[in-house]
Each structure stands twice: as structure tokens, then as C-alpha cells.
Amino acid sequence: MIGFPLLLIPIAIVNILVFLMPGVSFTDPIVTLSLMSRAAWTVTFGDALLALGLLLLLLEVVKGSRPGGKYFMDHALALLVCGGAAAEFLLLPRFGNSVFFLLVLMTLVDFLGGVMLRLRQRRLRAATAGRSAIVVAEAPASQPASAQPAPLPVQDNAPQPRPEPVAPPPLATIEPAHSSPSASAADQARSVLDVRPGAPTEPPR
């Protein structure tokens, strides 16, 4: 979409005043305001046109600062407005005044500022595209390493499996020795020691 050059509005108003209203001068007062200092401020046609031009120049700068805010045709139209206004200022005597000169200067600032903003945005886009290309190129190289699972850390103090308790061998049942009424206490004690597990056995007598 082609943007309309806003500074064409005050230029068109000046042309209307010059060609269609020759009796109107840029120094004619529009309104007189009383300030807090009790001074009387007289606003003329020239002052109103310059204030309007400044506001429209601010809007043009805001439009140009947006990403993709101005295209090539917008800059071409701004250049045509600047060239036409400069030609009127130099060739036509009714346009040779300070008010119209300042309007021509605003159109030139609009054109040069739009071109500088466009070049700056292009450099920023190129730098951003270069950084994104570097990131995309480095991503496949780091992907296999990240896909491998990380080895689990070896813990020295890991709990070791406890050995199963070994049941002790069953004790041999001690049967009372059948002794004769005539056996002594020493023979009964010797017979008890002979039946303990692990004790050396003596051959029978």
C-alpha cells in the first residue's frame, strides 16, 4: 500500500492561498491570544502552516520508523513533493518567503529521514538474518551429542547386597548316656564330651 505524503497538505494550502486567494497574505493574523504574562500573541497564517507542517513531519517520522513502514514508492513521492516545492520557491515570486522555505525544508527532512531509517532497518534485518543462520548451522552439529543419554554417576557408597545368613548346623541331640548303676561321675562326663560336634572321638575301649 502506497503511503500518502502528509507534507503535501500544507504545500497544497499554500498553493490555494497563492493562486485562488491572492488577497490573503501569510502575515495576516488569524487569532490573538493573551498569555499568562499578559503579552498578546498574534497567530498568523504562516505560523499556523508551520505548526501544521511540524506535526505532519512528526507523523511521517513515526510512519517511517515502523518495520516496513515506508516502501520505495513512498520515498519517491516524498522526493517529488520536495522537488516541486523547491521549484515553486525558486521560480515563482509569490512563494519566495520564509514560511514556504521552511515548508520546503521540512519536505527535504522527510525524504532524507525516511531513506536513512530504511537503510538502518535493512542493516538490522541483515544482521538478524546472519545470526539466525549461524544458530541454525550450529544446531545439527550439537544435536547427536545431546541425543545420547548421559552416563549415570558411579557412587562409591552404593549399598552392597547383604549376604544371606547361613543357618548354623543343627546341634546334635544329646542323649543321656545309659550307664549302669555302678558308673562313676567321671565316666558320665566323658561320655557327654564325646558326643559334642567337632570333638575328637576316641575309639571304643
Residue 192 has pLDDT above 70, yes or no: no
What contacts 54, CB < 8 A, 6 or more positions away?
Answer: 106
Phi, psi of 17 (to 5 degrees): -65, -35
Secondary structure of the chain as H, E, C letters: CCCCCCCHHHHHHHHHHHHCCCCCCCCCEEEEEECCCCCEEEEEHHHHHHHHHHHHHHHHHHHHHCCCCCCHHHHHHHHHHHHHHHHHHHHCHHHCCHHHHHHHHHHHHHHHHHHHHHHHHHHHHHHHHHHHHHHHHHHHHHHHHHHCCCCCCCCCCCCCCCCCCCCCCCCCCCCCCCCCCCCCHHHHHHHHHHCCCCCCCCCCC
Residue 41: strand pairing partners:
33
Dihedral sign of CA atoms 31, 107, 85, 90 in order: positive
> What does the pLDDT read at residue 126?
74
Residue 132 in this model has a pLDDT that exceeds 90:
no
Highest mean pLDDT among 17-26, 86-95, 107-116, 173-182: 86-95
Residue 185 confidence (pLDDT) above 50 = yes
Distance (Å, whole) CA 86 – CA 95: 10
Question: How close are the terminal C-alpha atoms of the chain, in Å?
Answer: 130
- Mean pLDDT, all residues of the chain: 75
What the block records as the C-alpha cell of 159 is 549399598
Compare 140 and 34 and report the one with higher pLDDT: 34
Q: Is the pLDDT of residue 65 over 60?
A: yes
Residue 75 has pLDDT above 70, yes or no: yes
- Mean of the pLDDT values across residues 118-125? 74
Mean pLDDT of all residues in 23-35: 88
Higher pLDDT: 112 or 147? It is 112
| More reliable by pLDDT, 68 or 57 | 57
Higher pLDDT: 178 or 85? It is: 85
- Examine the pLDDT at 182 and tell me if it is beyond 80: no
| Residue 87 CA to its chain's centroid (Å) | 48
- CA–CA gap between residue 65 and residue 68 (Å, rounded): 8
Q: How far apart are the C-alpha atoms of 21 and 15, rounded to whole Å?
A: 9
136-172 per-position pLDDT tens digit: 666 555 555 455 555 555 555 555 656 566 665 555 4
pLDDT at 1 over 50: no
pLDDT at 34 over 60: yes
Q: Report domain extents, the chain.
A: 8-139
pLDDT at 205: 47
Residue 55: the pLDDT is 95
Of the two residues 45 and 127, the one the predictor is more confident about is 45
Measuring CA to CA, which residue among 76, 73, 54, 45 is closest to residue 7?
54
Q: Smallest Cα–Cα separation from 61: which of 120, 7, 110? A: 110
